[in-house]
Amino acid sequence: MEEKNSTVIAGFLFENEAEAEQAAKEAEGVKYIKSKTDMDNPEMVLQIYNKIVRQKLFETAVGFAYLKDLQDYLISIPYVAKDAVLPIPVSHKALEKNIRKKLKLTAKTKDASPKTPPQRAEKPLGKRETAYRAKFHFTLILALIMAVSMAGMFFITANSNNLNILNYENELINRYEDWETELEEREAAIEEREAELGITD
């Protein structure tokens, strides 16, 4: 017994209105392809068949039935290679939608039951991210080593007795003062010696 919303398209009964509309479109498409296809040219039929299969133009039983007829015809031709005839990919969208709904409902009921929150699994790193992290760590370590080396060099330079750019001015002033003191001492010693010998200018 048919329901009010049931529709028959090309001998198939559809209870889903959206599927019935899709089937009607596919029936029109099949009629158009039949009118344009020369069935006496198996190479042309093979090209059309494979193109329809690759593009997944049909989703309902109407389209699949037509594809099966074409497939059977091509397989019956002796000079058409069997592996050249693609298999028909079948998916039932209404059934898949119902399964998804059931899975969502099941997931919601599981979430409603009191449980400890699931641990979020960390996403594994890709090759590029791993390479980037390795480079980052290497650069960071290198920068730290250089910073410590520079700090050590400044410390050694500041505390060193050797002449360098940091203590150059102080060293010059100290040497000048030492020379001046030494000259004054020699001059005083010479004047004293001249006074002892009675030499006058």
Domain boundaries, the chain: 7-95, 142-201
Identify the H or E element spanning 89.
none
pLDDT at 47: 87
Residue 71 and residue 73: Cα distance in Å, rounded? Answer: 5
pLDDT at 1: 42
- Residues of the chain under the 70 pLDDT cut: 1-4, 91-103, 106-125, 160-168, 201
pLDDT at 3: 45
pLDDT at 157: 72
If you search the block for the tokens 């090759």, which residue do you land on? 127
Q: 29, 40 in Cβ contact below 8 A?
A: no
Residue 22 and residue 8: Cα distance in Å, rounded? Answer: 12
For the entire predicted model, the pTM comes to 0.45
pLDDT at 15: 80
Question: Going by DSSP bridges, is the β-strand pair 7-9/12-14 parallel, antiparallel, or unpaired?
Answer: antiparallel
pLDDT at 161: 64
If you search the block for the tokens 């001015």, which residue do you land on? 169
State phi, psi for 114 to the nearest 5 degrees: -70, 120
